[in-house]
Every structure is written in C-alpha cells, then in structure tokens.
Structure 1
C-alpha cells in the first residue's frame, strides 16, 4: 500500500535511526511498544528496505507500506530539520544500524519525545531489521 509521506517522519541517528508513522493501515499489525528502559524489542517478521526514492516496510501476511522517501521530512533526533542530502543520509544510517526503529502513532509529534514514545504504550512497533 502506498503511504502518504506527509504522515511519515524520518529521524536520523547513526545508532538509532527511526521512522515515525501516523494514521497507518499497519498500526494494528505492529506490536504495542513498551520499552521504558530504552531497550526496544525487534519486530519479528518485519523488514525495512531504505532507498533514496522510497522506503519499504514489510510485515507478515499482507501488512506493509511503500513510503515515498525523496523529499519527505527528515529530522535529527531532537526534531531539527536536516539538510538537502538528508534522505540519503537516513538510508545510510539505517544500513549502518542494521535496521530502524519503526513506530506507528496516532499523530506525528512536533519533535520526538523519546521517553514518552518508548515508554507510554501509545506507540506500536519496534526495531525492524534491514532487508537481507
């Protein structure tokens, strides 16, 4: 399913790149996230394929999304916008980390509040490994 990039936020970070999603059809397919200690569980059966033009998030069965990535918003871990090569840099971050933190939320935050996102139980998702 093609996903509206306005409902996606790509977050850079060499050790923990993230993809935040709002209003997604795969919300219920992802596990409820409860990681108040910051140790994020792996989403077994899910994979991510980061590419410059699009990002594929594929899950079990029919669960999955294709997100147009080129020109989508990319921010750093504090929520500050990144520069013009940000999509390529985000893809490199994901490859280097071996995957990304994928979170499905009711709405996108203005800036990521990691303790709340990881510990409140309001998000669904976890660490999604990069496609082998």
Structure 2
C-alpha cells in the first residue's frame, strides 16, 4: 500500500539535481538507504517518479510507493513549475525520506549516518 505524504511534509529543492524531501517516520518498503558515489546519489533501482503540480507519485517495485500531495494555492504554481522543469531537464529527481524536518543540505552527512532513505529516481517519460 502506498504511503501518503501531506504537502506540509514535502519539500521541493532545486539544487544541481532537483530533490523531493519527504518527512515520514513510517518505513518505506524496498526504498534503499541513501548512499553517495563520488558525491552523487545512487539510483533507486525499480523506482520511478511521476512529478506533478497537484500530486506526485513515487512508484516502487510491487505495491510499494509514495503519494505526495501537491500545491494547495495558485501562488505556489510558479515555483513548482520551475521544479518540474528541473526534474524534466535532469530526467528525474533525488527522493529523500527523512524522519524529521531538519535541514537536508549536507547529503554526505545523511549518507554517512544512514539518516535517510532514497536516491536518484528517474522520471516517468510522458508522451503527447
């Protein structure tokens, strides 16, 4: 059964690689511990992201997945469109699941301390 993440527990970061940071104390089945290789997040094999304005879905193997609420107000649209464009340009996003609302700007510390789950998740290719 997919995990449901409220918009208050989701952050959209536009770094060199766009990131979706989710706060949840619930375990995410089959989502790997966050690791880096030469400073870059390892891919999450078997996972893909369908990033959207009103909702995003991070789909994993089998019945695993995460449903993330999207924007609630039109004033949020411009910033989210910029993030969606970054996801499109990068071909995906780094998805991080952490257990608190603390800062996540130090990926090396997250990886060293095994304080996060996730990695790079390729985007679903849209047609039409």
TM-score after normalising by structure 2 = 0.81
Gaps of 5+ in 1: 73-82
Note the C-alpha offset of 1:68. Answer: 1.6
Q: TM-score, normalised by structure 1?
A: 0.79
- Cα offset for 1:84? 5.8
- Secondary structure of the residue aligned to 2:115 is coil
Write the distance in 2 (CA, Å) between the matches of 1:25 and 1:112. 22
Task: Give the distance between the partners of 1:121 and 1:110, measured in 2 at CA.
Answer: 15
Aligned length: 121
Greater strand proportion: 2
Distance 1:120 1:88 in 2: 33
Residue 26 of structure 1, CA deviation:
5.3
Structure 2 unaligned regions, length at least 5: none
Q: Does 1:99 align with 2:101?
A: no
Larger RCO: 1 or 2 (CA < 8 Å, sep 6+): 1
Partner of 1:109: 102
Structure 1 residues 57 and 25: alpha-carbon distance in aligned structure 2, compared to 1, 3 A threshold: farther
